[in-house]
Amino acid sequence: MINPKRVSVQIENSIAHVKLARPAKRNALDMDMFKSIVSAIKTLRNDRHIRAVIVTGEGEDFCSGLDVKSMMKTATGPLKLLAKINPWSANLAQKVSADWQKIGAPVIMAIHGRCWGGGLHIALGGDIRIATPDASLSIMEGRWGLIPDMAGLLALRTHCRIDVAKELTMTAKLIDGNEAQKAGLVTHVNEDPIAMAQVLADEICQQSPDSVAAVKKLYNKSWIGGRGTLLMRETFYQLRVILGKNSKIKAYNQTHDANEQKAFLPRKKW
């Protein structure tokens, strides 16, 4: 269940605005925050009307990382985060990053202020990241004598060179938005990442939701992998898109003016 004191979700014009809402603690991650993020993701995953998701942090920071004091109040706190029955599945700590990719719509992370440790792993779980020039980003677990364990590596291994990733992780250094873009951690640098995210989301909403969802799944599954499987998926997904009603709506809208255009239907289940 989403705790409104930790995460807020508002949907406007088929765009979901998710806000980490613990500004007094710099949006640090306590158990309620973990659970609320996972719950919000699940809700959005099941809503096929959603066309894009924008994730931000309330207050001065995106997310300053783990609330160590809160999580260490009991001996079972860390265990609840790391527990899993199937070792190949995601635990609670990993779901707040990895599960954004289960949403059929693109997820845009708008980053400002501190984006440290677990906060950065949450951001890495999105499809596109936009940061302010003066944002502060860090793979910070090394400062606590730990390793990153929140599924951020899934994104790091495709967006970042391995030597750069090792250096950032081993030193736990702080870098700004421009440095993060050079390292491959963020897509764009902009003084107003929320405004830029909104413009990008609006552009995405002009496309067929089926083709957007298919691209997300195709790229996620085939960016790393065999040639034959990639070719098979391209053809299969294309056929699913072409045979869908939204493909016909997109073609219709391309040949008619704005006053005659049809609204897209909810996206297919991908």
Supply the CATH number for residue 22's domain: 3.90.226.10
CA dihedral 261, 267, 268, 270 (to 10 degrees): 140
Tokens encoding 69: 């004091």
Residues 128, 251: one domain?
no
pLDDT of residue 66: 94
What pLDDT is recorded for position 69?
83
Residues 220 and 173 in one domain: no
For residue range 80-131, list pLDDT tens digits in order.
888 999 999 999 999 999 999 999 999 999 999 999 999 999 999 999 999 9
Residue 61 has pLDDT above 90, yes or no: yes
Q: Are 131 and 137 in contact (CB under 8 A)?
A: yes
Q: Tell me, yes or no, whether 265 lies in a domain.
A: no
Identify whether residues 91 and 215 lie together within a single domain.
Answer: no
What digits encode the pLDDT tens for the residues 146-200? 999 999 999 999 999 999 999 999 999 999 999 999 999 999 999 999 999 999 9
Tell me: pLDDT of 32 over 90.
yes
pLDDT of residue 55: 98
- Tens of pLDDT, residue by residue over 222-268, are 999 999 999 999 999 999 999 999 999 999 999 999 889 999 999 99
**Is the pLDDT at 77 greater than 80, yes or no?**
no
The count of other CB atoms within 10 Å of the CB of residue 255 is: 8
pLDDT at 74 (0 to 100):
75
Q: What is the pLDDT of residue 72?
A: 74
Is the confidence at residue 140, as pLDDT, over 90?
yes
- At 96 the pLDDT is 98
CA 37 to chain centre: 11
Q: Is the pLDDT of residue 1 over 80?
A: no
- 157: CB partners within 8 A, 6+ apart: 165, 224
Considering the domain architecture, whether residues 131 and 39 belong to the same structural domain is answered as: yes
Confirm whether 270 is domain-assigned.
Answer: no
Q: Please tell me whether residues 11 and 68 are part of one structural domain.
A: yes
SS3 at position 267: coil
C-alpha atoms less than 13 angstroms from C-alpha of 78 in its C-beta half-sphere: 7
Asked whether residue 26 falls in the same domain as residue 155, the answer is: yes
Q: Following DSSP, what letter does each residue of 122-179 receive, concatenated?
A: HHHTSSEEEE-TT-EEE--GGGGT----SSTHHHHHHHS-HHHHHHHHHH---B-HHH
Q: What is the pLDDT of residue 4?
A: 80
Domain hosting residue 200, numbered range: 7-204
State how far the Cα of 239 lies from the Cα of 168, in Å rounded to an integer.
42
**Cβ within 8 Å of residue 52, ≥6 positions away:** 14, 15, 16, 105, 106, 107, 108, 200, 201, 204, 205
pTM of the model: 0.95
Is a pLDDT exceeding 80 seen at residue 73? no
Residue 65 identity: G
Question: Rounded to the nearest 5°, which phi and psi values hold at 183?
Answer: -80, -15
Give the pLDDT score at 37: 98
Q: What is the mean pLDDT of the chain?
A: 95
Average pLDDT over residues 125-151: 96
In a domain, 88, yes or no: yes
Burial 71-96 (b: 16+ CB within 10 A, else e): beeeeeeeeebeeeeeeeebbbbbbb
Q: Convert the pLDDT of each residue in 187-231 to its tens digit.
A: 999 999 999 999 999 999 999 999 999 999 999 999 999 999 999
Tokens of 220: 């996620």
Q: What is the CATH number of the domain that holds 231?
A: 1.10.12
- CA gap 219, 221 in Å, rounded: 5
Largest distance between two CA atoms of the chain = 63
Out of 35-44, 52-61, 79-88, 165-174, which region has the weakest mean confidence (pLDDT)? 79-88
